[in-house]
Chains A and B, each alone.
Chain A
Amino acid sequence: MYLKGLIVVVIFTIIGITEIVPLKKNKDKKELTIYTLFFAAAFVLMFLYSIGVEIPQISKGLNTIIEKII
């Protein structure tokens, strides 16, 4: 289980280095901030998923809302 987490960390580090470095060179802070936010969200969720933490399902939430409305 933790090996999967380690693989996720390694892969995200590689992607991060290859994509964030050119963004940093462009010196566009807005782009860098937005990229980092999305990237961090993806990393946290993927890491949690890889170590077996159950991520809340959007479809279940949608079902609950729609059933309440109907």
Chain B
Amino acid sequence: MSNKQGICLIILFMSSSSLVLSSASEARRDIWIAMLLGLAIAILIVAMYSRVLSRFPDKNLYEINISVFGRIIGSIINLIFTLYSFYLGALVLKNFSLFIGVVGLESTPLIVVSSAVIIIIIYGVKEGIEVLGRWSAFFAKIVFPIIIIVTLLMLNMVDVNNLKPILGDGIGPVLDGAFSIITFPYAELVIFVLIFNSKMFKGGNNIYKTFIYGLLLGGFLISAIVIGAYLAIGPFAYESSYFPIYSAVSRINIRDVLQRIEIIIAITFMIGGFIKISACLLACCNGIVNILKLKDYKFIVTPVSLLLLVISLSTYQSMLDMVTELKNFRYVALIVQIILPLVIFIIIEIKSRLSKSK
């Protein structure tokens, strides 16, 4: 797998749900400060992920946990990561089918949309990360221009007064918004720590380059379109809409010629959503293989996908439910995305320094 494919995977992963769901809306008029602050902190978090992976060149985080903490404690930590990736996959699948249900196939039952998506995902995951990487490198060429063009087309609706007054509500909402954007989607990149290992990439140990470039490019694209949408539709519409970017893009009207182009946001979400669910499923299958000491993950993909499908179907039934039921999910995300990797990172550093001093 090349670096470019890894970067494209990360960017498509990041730009899936965050392209349609509202990000950092807690920061209100200071959304841009929250986005930049979140990105700056996320760089540190992702550098930490890369450092952990580069310490053990041919291992992913599951294998690192086993070799650092031993079989029993390592397996318990791995179980937490496995359950997290499974549940995250189920949530993304639910958002994916709800979004399609709301904007397109209104009368189609959710199970039809979810099942159709999961069939393709089973195929993709069975083919492996290399195929997903090549797929991402191809579709990234479609997604990047779409996001940039859509952001530019929103420029004529932009009202900079929507960002004023700066820090009008104090620093609290900014920190809240930054925390929100870190847990969704920046630090969700922990999923790739469960899949990648440093030796996976051609040309040596380029794990830093893959993670940091992926985060910066993805972060730039998300920040551009989110801030563009916020400036275009204003704080009230942004906060009250379930799909603020989608509704901002639906308002684009260039001299009555270019209008109703919101479908391209839906297409972008579908491309990114496919990668995100596949990555979560792959991370989950890797975890099961590691915990149960199996040789290959491919045979387990179908039953785990079916389980993911049914868990996805049985979660919240509407976007309104999503907001209320997932209000505390970011605390779970905080533990799995930041606290656990930080503890692992500190223990690895201490162990390596102790072994050096000996």
When the two chains form their complex, are residues A15 and B329 in contact, meaning their CB atoms are under 8 A apart? no
Our pick among B90, B294, B302 for the contact of A34 (Cβ within 8 Å) is B294
Contact B326 A42 (CB under 8 A): no
Q: Does B303 interact with chain A (Cβ within 8 Å)?
A: yes
Chain B at the A interface: mostly helix, strand, loop or mixed? helix
Q: Does the CB pair A55–B310 fall under 8 Å?
A: yes
Give the interface size class of chain A: 20 to 34
The residue on B at minimum CB distance from A55 is: B314
* Known A57-B315, A60-B325, A63-B327: A23·B299 in contact at CB below 8 Å: yes
Given contacts A30-B294, A63-B325, A66-B328, contact A57 B316 (CB under 8 A): yes
State which residues 291-339 of B face A: CB under 8 Å: 292, 294, 299-300, 302-304, 306-307, 309-311, 313-316, 325-329, 331-332
Q: How far is the CA of A53 from the CA of B105 in the complex (A)?
A: 25
Q: What is the CA–CA distance of A28 and B29 in the complex, to the nearest angstrom?
A: 59
B139 beta carbon closer than 8 Å to chain A = no
B307 touches A42 (CB 8 A): yes
Instruction: Tell me if B87 counts as interface (CB < 8 A to partner A).
Output: yes
Per the bound structure, the CA–CA distance linking A42 and B302 in Å amounts to: 10
Q: Least Cβ distance of A22 to chain B in Å? A: 9
Q: How far is the CA of A58 from the CA of B302 in the complex (A)?
A: 21
A-chain residues with CB within 8 Å of residue B329 when the two chains form the complex: 59, 62
Contact call B294/A38, Cβ cutoff below 8 A: no
Residues of chain B within 8 A of A49, CB atoms compared: 310, 313-314
* Chain B residues positioned under 8 Å from A62 (CB to CB): 328-329, 332
Whether A15 pairs with B326 at a CB distance below 8 angstroms is no
Question: Which 8 residue pairs spanning A and B have beta carbons closest together?
Answer: A38-B303, A42-B306, A55-B314, A39-B303, A66-B328, A59-B325, A42-B307, A45-B310
Q: Offer 19 A-B interface pairs, CB within 8 angstroms, sorted by A.
A: A19-B299, A30-B294, A34-B292, A35-B300, A38-B304, A42-B306, A42-B310, A43-B306, A45-B307, A45-B314, A55-B310, A55-B311, A58-B87, A58-B90, A58-B311, A60-B325, A63-B327, A66-B328, A70-B328
Residues of A within 8 A of B (CB): 12, 15, 19, 23, 30-31, 34-35, 38-39, 41-43, 45-46, 49, 54-60, 62-63, 66-67, 70
